[in-house]
Amino acid sequence: MEIKFAFEKATKNTFRFEELSTDPIIGYLYVKKEAFNGRQPSHVIINLEVAE
């Protein structure tokens, strides 16, 4: 399952992204700024896989 998020705001150490869906599964996603090497992305895509 592919879930798309749009940048919403920057906090002290993280970027907050909001899920682009009418029926959110995750809602908000916080990612540490250091994961993006100093850049602020406008969107991120998460691939969600359920393991059993």
- Please write the tens of the pLDDT for every residue from 3-35: 999 999 999 999 999 999 999 999 999 999 999
CA dist., res. 17 & res. 2, Å (int): 15
Q: For residue 28, tell me if it sits in a domain.
A: yes
Q: For residue 52, tell me if it sits in a domain.
A: no
Residues spanned by the domain of 17: 2-47
pLDDT value of residue 9: 96
Structurally, the chain folds into a number of domains equal to 1
Taking the model in full, what pTM does it have? Answer: 0.87
* Cβ atoms < 10 Å from Cβ of 3: 16
pLDDT value of residue 16: 97
Is the predicted pLDDT of residue 38 greater than 90, yes or no? no
